[in-house]
Amino acid sequence: MANPHETLALLDPARFVGEVEGRPTALYRLRNARGMVVAITSLGAKVLQIVVPDRHGVPGDVALGYESLEAVLAGAPSMGAFIGRYAGRIAQARFTLDGVEHHLMANAGPHCLHGGPRGTRHRVFEARQTSDHTLELQHRFTPADDGFPGTLDLRLSYHLSERNELVIEHEATAIEGSGPASFTSHVFFNLDGPGHTTIDDHRLEVQASHLLATDADHIATGERTALQGHPLDLRTAQRLGDVPDIDHAYQIDTLHQPASLRLCARASSPASGRTLEVWSTEPVLQVYTAGQLGNGTAPDVGKQGVHHRPRAGLCLEPQQYPNAPNCPAFPLNRVAPERPYRARTEFRFGVVG
């Protein structure tokens, strides 16, 4: 029988062998018995390929990404990345904790985005593939490196289940001091494949009655906005082409314990029949319809020479509250020696019945 992946351009690990900041880079492939394949590079712990079947059982790639280390370095830094030490924007790249003002490195105008220029998007993780199904990674955060207080050790794992679920678990432990942290996975999904179609025909439902208000720079203000009657109300599934461009954090409705694994969002494509459910223990889901993707001066060239363009992907990013160190109204996730930060997110793939 022919290999069903022969018609797919699976990423070549040889093209990701290299060095960044003196640390060796590599690409790892995870597989399950049902034919699901996920490719992850140790640079940024970036998920660059996810192969799952459509309604006819035909496997296809549903993640945007790049096909070489050089392309990753030249491309969008968030593409597929595991984000840390703090997801989202921190206003004016500073905050005060216990009476001490901490100054971060700005990388989005005057603000600090996704941990700043020394965030995990740009760093090489230590990585070890323990089985066909599982990849384990590690990274240490230090104040001297990124400006955040506290030295944290991060243990991260990617695991494929036999139910076509990509399970992402992390544990951050404070080695010295304490400080805020918020991690997320920044995969760009397209359930029809990373070709020439946008996500406009995708349908999306988010289990949230409130979103977090932001200012003109997309900085969370600490206020919550009720979604009743709001154009971004996604409590019932909406065609994404019928709603405004989205780059907002939704506060996930909590029916059980705050840290329990719960459904955050469902996405589906009528063209491929593929579905995606996002389950997480995290309290907030950032939804990004990639309206700014590929808007730089140089083309953003992905796999098979595809030029990434606005709304070519959908990001569903479970995380802690953005800008919480500057927003007393938000819970602050502070990692301390006696309080590690653990979370679990599951991306569950299927097809419409």
Those residues with Cβ within 8 angstroms of residue 130's Cβ, 6 or more apart along the chain or in another chain: 136
Whether 346 is catalytic is no
The alpha carbon dihedral of 197, 203, 207, 211 has a sign of positive
In the beta sheet, which residues pair with residue 61? 51
The alpha carbon dihedral of 128, 129, 130, 134 has a sign of positive
Catalytic annotation, pick one of 111, 170, 186, 308: 186
Catalytic annotation, pick one of 277, 282, 317, 346: 317
Distance between start and end Cα atoms, the chain: 27
Q: Are strands 46-53 and 284-288 parallel, antiparallel or unpaired?
A: unpaired
Q: Is residue 117 packed enough to be buried (19+ CB in 10 Å), middle (13-18) or exposed (0-12)?
A: middle
Please list, residue by residue across 251-267, b when 16 or more beta carbons sit within 10 angstroms of its beta carbon and e when fewer do: bbeeeeeeeeebbbbbb
Q: How far apart are CA 275 and CA 352, in angstroms?
A: 7
Find the DSSP H helices in 93-174.
143-146
User: Is there a binding annotation on residue 12?
Assistant: no
Whether 218 is catalytic is no
Q: Which residues are annotated as a binding site?
A: 253
What is the set of active-site residues?
Answer: 186, 317
Q: Which residues belong to the annotated binding site for beta-D-galactose?
A: 253
